């Protein structure tokens, strides 16, 4: 009788343990699926049109020792065109750059836009902004758009700035360039077309 009672208790504990393991396994599976979804979503959302905006007192770009673009007060904008970018991304990013209020007003606060101060833009294409550094120490540029299509979107971005009355100069797309940036502040702001970073 005593043995039977002990066996029942052991079976009961064993069943509870099995049930607990099942619940833990299910929870772990749910967590794994959730994390995988987040990683997948983030990888997809990382593929955006990127603009690294630097407020400058002056900026210029040289190709083969010759200055091909230069500005005074304004922005040097390094532009990275990544896979899946569309012309609509160029429109959104151009508007954001133009209306970015990072120039000081009379009270010394960052409150004025490029138009308010009569600023200029030097736009330089830079596919390395699309780099993926999650694995190893050598960046992968697989997320960068192919040069032919990237140039079309970069050109659209530049033309949108010009259409809004902003004096805009550029480097030479795809060329090896020497960029001189006299950063004022310093003020450097990352913008992207998906508005993940404000």
Per-residue pLDDT of 38-92, as tens digits, reads: 444 444 444 578 999 999 999 999 999 999 999 999 999 999 998 877 788 888 8
Question: One of 14, 25, 128, 134 is an active-site residue; which one?
Answer: 128
Q: What is the pLDDT of residue 143?
A: 86
pLDDT band at 28 (very low <50, low <70, confident <90, very high): low
Measured CA to CA, the distance from residue 20 to residue 28 in angstroms comes to 12
Residue 15 has pLDDT above 80, yes or no: no
Per-residue pLDDT of 102-146, as tens digits, reads: 999 999 999 999 999 999 999 999 998 888 888 889 999 988 888
151 is catalytic: no
Question: One of 54, 75, 103, 127 is an active-site residue; which one?
Answer: 127
Q: Model-level pTM?
A: 0.72
Q: What is the pLDDT of residue 37?
A: 43
Q: What is the 3-state secondary structure (H, E, C) of 31-46?
A: HHHHHHHHHHHHHHHC
Question: One of 54, 75, 103, 126 is an active-site residue; which one?
Answer: 126
Q: What is the pLDDT of residue 7?
A: 44
Using DSSP, state whether 92 is helix, strand or coil: helix
The whole-angstrom distance between residue 48's C-alpha and the CA centroid of its chain comes to 6
Measured CA to CA, the distance from residue 86 to residue 39 in angstroms comes to 23
More confident residue, 6 or 61: 61
97-to-20, 56, 62, 77 alpha-carbon distances in Å? 55, 14, 23, 9
Q: What is the pLDDT of residue 2?
A: 54
Measured CA to CA, the distance from residue 23 to residue 148 in angstroms comes to 53
Question: What is the H or E stretch that residue 7 is in?
Answer: helix 2-45
Q: What is the pLDDT of residue 32?
A: 46
Residue 3 has pLDDT above 50, yes or no: yes
- Phi and psi at 125, nearest 5°, equal -70, 140
128 is catalytic: yes
């Amino acid at each position: 009788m005593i043995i039977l009672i002990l066996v029942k208790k052991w079976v009961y504990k064993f069943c509870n343990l099995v049930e607990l393991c099942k619940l833990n396994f299910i929870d772990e599976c749910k967590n794994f699926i959730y994390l995988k979804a987040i990683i997948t979503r983030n990888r997809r959302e990382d593929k955006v049109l990127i603009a690294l905006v630097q407020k400058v007192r002056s900026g210029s770009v040289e190709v083969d020792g010759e200055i091909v673009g230069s500005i005074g007060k304004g922005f040097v904008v390094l532009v990275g065109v990544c896979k899946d970018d569309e012309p609509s991304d160029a429109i959104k990013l151009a508007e954001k750059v133009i209306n970015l209020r990072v120039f000081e007003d009379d009270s010394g606060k960052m409150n004025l836009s490029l138009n308010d101060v009569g600023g200029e833009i030097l736009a330089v294409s830079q596919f390395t902004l699309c780099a993926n550094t999650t694995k190893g120490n050598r960046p992968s540029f697989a997320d960068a758009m192919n040069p032919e299509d990237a140039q079309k979107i970069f050109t659209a971005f530049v033309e949108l700035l010009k259409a809004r009355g902003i004096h805009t100069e550029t480097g030479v797309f795809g060329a090896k360039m020497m960029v001189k940036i006299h950063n004022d502040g310093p003020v450097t702001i990352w913008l992207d077309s998906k508005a993940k970073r404000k």
